[in-house]
């Protein structure tokens, strides 16, 4: 390989261009995953963007963005689970009252 300054400059420019393209793909993947409400983690982002996970870890800005979005997604899921759990507890209490009414001594005498 010819290591003259022109070739090195061209190689560096090519690498920078590929890096910019990869970052653009990652940002699009993040938007898509958020829009679809899918899990956001290094695996899902790398797969959706079709880039190497190592690239995501190596780029500090992308890594921080993914970690932040992952935490937001987990917090939203946790909030949703707590709401659902509260609904289930309310329904469970209602069903216990109904069950007690069905098996209470006053209802047994009707049989």
Confidence (pLDDT) at 106: 67
Confidence (pLDDT) at 40: 92
pLDDT in tens, 72-103: 887 777 777 778 888 889 999 999 988 888 88
pTM over 0.75: no
Q: Which structure tokens are listed for 86? A: 């509260």
pLDDT in tens, 26-74: 999 999 999 998 989 999 999 999 999 999 999 999 999 999 998 888 7
The string of DSSP letters for the chain reads: ----HHHHHHHHHHHHHHHHHHHHHHHHHHHHHHHHT---SHHHHHHHHT--HHHHHH-HHHHHHHHHHHHHHHHHHHHHHHHHHHHHHHHHHHHHHHHHHHHSHHHHTT-
Confidence (pLDDT) at 49: 97
Q: Is the dihedral of CA 46, 48, 49, 51 positive or negative?
A: positive
């Amino acid at each position: 390989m010819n290591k003259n300054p022109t070739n090195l400059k061209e190689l560096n420019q090519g690498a920078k261009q590929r890096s910019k393209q990869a970052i653009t793909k990652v940002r699009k993947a993040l938007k898509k995953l958020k829009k679809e409400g899918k899990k956001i983690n290094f695996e899902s982002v790398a797969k959706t963007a079709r880039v190497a996970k190592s690239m995501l870890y190596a780029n500090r800005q992308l890594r921080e963005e993914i970690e932040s979005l992952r935490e937001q997604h987990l917090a939203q899921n946790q909030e949703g689970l707590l709401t659902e759990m509260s609904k289930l507890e309310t329904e469970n209490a209602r069903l216990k009252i109904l069950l007690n009414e069905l098996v209470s001594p006053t209802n047994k005498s009707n049989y």
